[in-house]
Amino acid sequence: MRWLSLVRTPPLYRTPTLVRRCQSTSAPRHIRVLQDTYPTDDYTNITPTISSKLSRRLHAQEGHPITTLRSLIESHFPDFAHLSSLSPIVTPHQNFDSLSFPADHPGRAKTDSYYINKNAMLRTHTSAHEVEVFAKGTERWLLTADVYRRDEIDASHYPVFHQMEGAKIFGTDASSIDQIEQESQRLERQLALSNIDIEDVRHISETNPAQTSHDVRSSEVIAKNLKFCLNSLMYKLFAGIAGAAKSDPLRVRWIEAYFPFTGPSYEVEVFFRGKWLEILGCGVVLQSTLDRAGVPNKMGWAFGLGLERIAMILYSIPDIRLFWSEDPRFLSQFTHGKFSTFKPYSKYPASYRDVSFWKPSSDMHDNDLYDVVRDVAGDLVEDVAIIDRFTHPKTQRHSLTVRVVYRSFDRSLVNEEVNLLQSRVVSCLQKLGVEIR
């Protein structure tokens, strides 16, 4: 999931440093990431393109759409701590184990996450900080951060994106539970006055049970409080834009979900332009997380949402790469605290190139291909699609045909430049062991 700005960077054929990226035959023994030097090992898969994003901090850039959206969400939780400066480099323990991810969870794979080495990785979600924030004694908090995942390349996927995590924990004695109920009733009365249509699911069911260590009624009270808080957040974000007309209600749908670190768990979707869009995941925090944080007597809820997808809707931004643009024609369109409709300043022609190859006998994941293209072409690549796959019936070798779509936001790419980019992609792929057909 994620994106950057080559908008102000000279064309790649004038930047030989980028060419060198895939030319080193042996990996360096150490790499520098942010201010520190790390030994590399067979987990190391962070690329220069990804490294260069770590210091950008779009979510702290005044006037940037991501920052305005963050502020709007923060204003919905005025009595929460608002955190935004935690390092993106975490341990796999923080990112996975502290949240009880099983040892064989696919998110841990090198093909899905960016590792500096076996013991240091880029956080894949803001939940990675739950234990440390709860451990500081913070009982209500929102955390905004850049997160990193290896993924496909198209207008809505970029290997860096931004998430907000929100969480609240409560005492579990009768009077605390009573207070939660009262707050929920207040929110319920407010929502009853709003033009919102909510498709709910049961708080707890056989397929979405309370945790065995939890009192079922307390778990229900917390889940209900979570639902009211988030329904009113959805209304704040989307009312007025989701329906075809202002008079249409905002439609919000709750569905049962599964996350390794919550129970019960839900996803929230919002109806927009004829489709249900997944907005966030949430649930009642796993008690083992709170035990690890040293607050075993509390219970609570948490949610995590992706900011780019929401900002793309609120600002009508058509391509996720634009968030990383440093072009004044992009940035000057926005004022802090205001939602405006993005006016495209260009639609230069796209140019595509196909390449067919035999995969190496050693394992090669599709995400390896995407990182190669990203590293060669940066934000000049708009889309990478695997348009054909087959296995040779006799040799059992796997073949792929890949279409790479190049397009710049600020100028027309000339044929020679696209040819050069594509030939670099091809030579980097050959270094991974593919055989061009």
**Beta bridge partners of residue 198, listed in sequence order:** 252
CA proximity to 237, closest of 307, 161, 163: 307
Which CB atom, from 145 or from 198, has the smaller least distance to ligand DAH?
Answer: 145
Q: Give the number of other Cβ atoms within 10 Å of residue 400's Cβ.
A: 20
CB 370 → ligand DAH: shortest distance, Å? 19
5, 95, 127, 351: which one binds ligand DAH (CB under 6 A): 127
Rule CB under 6 A: is residue 282 a binding residue for ligand DAH? yes
CB 187 → ligand DAH: shortest distance, Å? 19
Residue nearest ligand DAH, CB atom distance: 304
Question: Which residue shows structure tokens 């979600």?
Answer: 125
The stretch near ligand DAH (CB under 6 A) out of 87-95, 200-208, 248-256, 275-283 is 275-283
**Contact string 299-318 vs ligand DAH (x = CB under 6 A):** ---xxx--------------
How far apart CA 319 and CA 312 sit, in angstroms, is: 8
CB 283 → ligand DAH: shortest distance, Å? 4
How far apart CA 325 and CA 436 sit, in angstroms, is: 34
Which CB atom, from 117 or from 262, has the smaller least distance to ligand DAH?
Answer: 262
Rule CB under 6 A: is residue 259 a binding residue for ligand DAH? yes
Beta strands in 14-123 (DSSP E): 30-33, 36-39, 81-83, 89-90, 115-117, 120-122
Which CB atom, from 63 or from 260, has the smaller least distance to ligand DAH?
Answer: 260
Which CB atom, from 264 or from 378, has the smaller least distance to ligand DAH?
Answer: 264
CB 247 → ligand DAH: shortest distance, Å? 33
Written as one letter, the residue type at 164 is M
CB 104 → ligand DAH: shortest distance, Å? 18
Rule CB under 6 A: is residue 165 a binding residue for ligand DAH? yes
Which CB atom, from 235 or from 259, has the smaller least distance to ligand DAH?
Answer: 259
- 65-76 and 216-238 helices, crossing angle to 10°: 130
95, 262, 287, 408: which one binds ligand DAH (CB under 6 A): 262
**CA 279 → CA 109, 163, 184, 271, distances in Å?**
25, 11, 22, 10
CB 127 → ligand DAH: shortest distance, Å? 4
How far apart CA 63 and CA 331 sit, in angstroms, is: 8
How many residues are present in the chain? Answer: 437
How far apart CA 250 and CA 197 sit, in angstroms, is: 6
Residue 253 backbone phi and psi in degrees, to 5: -125, 135
283, 287, 371, 424: which one binds ligand DAH (CB under 6 A): 283
Q: Are 170 and 224 in contact (CB under 8 A)?
A: no
Q: Are 321 and 342 in contact (CB under 8 A)?
A: no
Which CB atom, from 88 or from 304, has the smaller least distance to ligand DAH?
Answer: 304
Q: Footprint of ligand DAH on this chain (CB under 6 A)?
A: 125, 127, 165, 259, 262, 281-283, 302-304
